[in-house]
Chains A and B, each alone.
Chain A
Amino acid sequence: MATLLMMSRPTRLSDLPTGAVATVASMPAGQVALTRLREMGVVPGTRVQLVRRAPLGDPIEISLRGSLLSLRASEAELIEVTLI
């Protein structure tokens, strides 16, 4: 596990390039905004793909567990992911 983390670069979900696939590494606790995201399936270990950014640059669209979700960069930047 430790070697895995060192090999891949942790980055923020909001910074992923379009089309990139990553795993959720960590999410800060106690954020109301993130509780609902967790309930919609974004929990540490989940595989997510950044599908696209909205035409005006924000929000972003991600694909996970077979469905499509949209969230703002202000929330996405709280989520650390590891590129696969």
Chain B
Amino acid sequence: MPAAADTPLVYALVGNPNCGKSTLFNALTGLRQKVGNYPGVTVEKKVGECFSQHGRRMTLIDLPGSYSLNARSPDESVMRDVLLGRAPGTPRPDRVVCVVDASNLERHLYLVTQIMELGLPVVVALNMVDVAVSRQIRLDVARLSERLGVPVVPTQASIKKGLIELKLAMSRDDLAAPPGLPDLLPVPVRGGLLRSRETLAEAGLVRSDAPLLEPLYLLSSHDPTHYGIADQALARLTAVREQLEREVPGWEDRLVAARYDAIAALCAEVVRRPDEARLSFTDRLDAILLHRVWGWGALLLVLAVIFTLIFKVAEAPMGWIEAALNGGELFGRPIGGLAGWVEGLMPDGDLRSLIIDGAIAGVAGVLVFLPQILILFFFIGLLEDTGYMARLAFMMDRLMGKVGLNGRSFLPILSSYACAVPGVMAARTIDSPKDRLITIMVAPLASCSARLPVYALLIPLLFPPELMPSWGKALILLGLYALGTLGAFFFAWLFNRTLMKGVPTPLILELPSYKAPALAGVVRQMADRAWMFVRRAGTVILGLSILLWAALTYPKSDDPDPARQVEHSLAGRLGHAFEPLVRPMGGDWRVAIGLIGAQGAREVFNSQLGVIYAVEGAEEDESPLRDRLRREKHPDGRPVYSVPFCLGLLVYFVFAMQCLSTVAIVRRETGGWKWPLFQFAYMTGTGYLLAVLIYQIGIRLSA
């Protein structure tokens, strides 16, 4: 199907994970690429452009790494739908480049043989030939090409070798759809599939010349969402499958086996492996990294490095961003930042307040996450690219499996101790939709760094002022972290038993060979994801920040006292309105206002109380505020910040969802408001119930 010379050929780039496909995509397209998202799913859509030797323009769609058209994850569903021309907003590709790992041909040819049956011209890029050579694997490329009936081009994407030859093959006019392997389907199955295609085509669900297996791929039983298929079609497809299964029991399993038999026969002709297998670099490294003792040491070292960097190194740039926008100290010198500049430029008034306390503070609230997100995603990219990520999941799977998660949930949850926003984003590396959702649901229970200022303010209130043993404070802090962790495991277990009951998720993990990371690719992916965060979550965070500002500012009072203004504002009135809710946990309307402010971001609680109790500079040093809190009394003379109340409040902060940014990113990552609202309800509900329980029991015990 030669396209007109001016319309670019659309190529899909497909391959198993770890075949160097993305490196090849980057090498072919350079900077001419766009990263977006497929509608309705959180799968990155990467489209790029390259030119043949004769200047012919070609569009490349880099499809997510997949093992089979029989989709099992959102990534694989996207690959299937694009190749079948069923993805909304993406044209069906004209041709396909299949990228295979030359050192692992047998396994990678499985997908190739499936693709060859789709009726599209195929070019095979035999990538990572250097690895095959280093393992003394010899390949007869000409014979492979002849047997498959498609051009096969050896490449080494990491050093841009073989790209010219590949582009030459891709721009050929005479490329026809390959014949595919000799028929692998038992005769009755073939007949059954032909008949069902006819029925489905009459119903307008598939094209009449659709690939024979298309209906079955659409019905992949591993994909509970059946992404892209209407309910009525689903019923028809299910009937087709059930009928076939009755006629020829186990035919799908037999088809897989027949495919591998054919591939094994082909490989026997074209692949020569060394007679005695030598211990590879990967084997030797795994002997250490997966060792019963040294393995844990290596794992702790890797995590220690990453988290030291997230906590410590990100601290400085976060401070710079804060200072540059909101004002503060930059390199030891106090500066006014953007807010200070605006303050000098404009007369005092609502507009200035909107810009400074609403917009600039909101922008700062978005950008301040960037250092942590960049560092975390750089390391996640590095771990994925080198092959260590799969080992991490392998080592942690037993532990995470106990609560129904899998090894891949470990890193996102651990990251959430720094900040849940990058943690939730990191859950993208989990391929099982169920495990990914549960991970996102429980990750914010890990005590993030924004809770620390609140813990620091409240914990000393549990002790008399003259007696503040530091070991006691440390112990309580540790207890709060442990409580959050236990909570995360408990809810993961609960959700796995209830919400997601009956969805099987076996862990089948490939442990790829170790390789040097493609740094340029890692950096690019890090930048893409950070940009995605700023653009998508950022707009929501900014909008909600401005709403919160308005609630604290309007309606205006004439009283110059800021405490009075807050009380007069919508938030203040809400504080009074919510007082009956806060009273069972021991608080009054002032606490309610503090909690409303903390709803945007937990650390705001301190500054909010500072405003309400008219204590200056509560953000820098919390001890004057704490002294003020100790003196605060209920109308009947009892202290407000009693031990039962503070303990309950601390537990509330462990569990409650009080972070707009997390809500925004969860909405983004789950594709709707359903899950963030559920998360808000269960987390805040748990926090509230526990706080009330602790206070009520506490005052009865101390009475």
Contact = CB atoms under 8 A, between A and B. Distances in A.
A68 B511 contact: yes
A38 B292 contact: no
**Which of B249, B273, B508, B510 has most A Cβ within 10 Å?**
B508
Interface residues of B, number: 42
Nearest to B390: A70
B384 to A, nearest CB: 16
A70 B256 contact: no
Interface string B206-234: 00000000000000011000000000000
A82 B67 CA distance: 27
B394 A61 contact: yes
A39 B70 contact: yes
9 contacts: A33-B506, A38-B253, A38-B257, A55-B292, A55-B296, A59-B394, A65-B106, A67-B510, A70-B394
A71 B509 CA distance: 7
B430 to A, nearest CB: 15
B507 A71 contact: yes
Contacts of A27: 253
A57 B397 CA distance: 10
Contact of B508 (A40, A46, A51, A55): A40
B110 interface: yes
Interface of A: 27, 29-30, 32-33, 35-41, 43-46, 51-52, 54-59, 61, 65-72, 74-75
Contacts of A68: 282, 510-512
Interface string B254-290: 0011001000000000000100000000100010001
B510 A43 contact: no
A52 B290 contact: yes
B257 A41 contact: no
Interface of B: 67-68, 70, 72, 103-107, 110, 221-222, 249-250, 252-253, 256-257, 260, 273, 282, 286, 290-292, 295-296, 390, 394-395, 397-399, 401, 504, 506-512
Given A32-B222, A55-B395, A61-B394, A37 B291 contact: no
Of B104, B397, B506, the most chain A CB neighbours within 10 A belong to B506
Given A54-B290, A55-B295, A72-B507, 16 more contacts: A27-B253, A33-B504, A35-B221, A36-B508, A40-B107, A44-B257, A54-B395, A55-B290, A55-B296, A58-B398, A58-B401, A65-B107, A66-B103, A67-B107, A68-B512, A71-B509
Nearest to B253: A29
Nearest to B221: A32
A13 to B, nearest CB: 13
B76 to A, nearest CB: 10
Contacts of A56: 395, 397-399
B106 A66 contact: yes
Contacts of B103: 66
B507 A59 contact: yes
Contact of B506 (A29, A57, A71): A71
B511 A70 contact: yes
Most buried by A among B70, B222, B273, B398: B398
B104 A55 contact: no
A35 B253 contact: yes
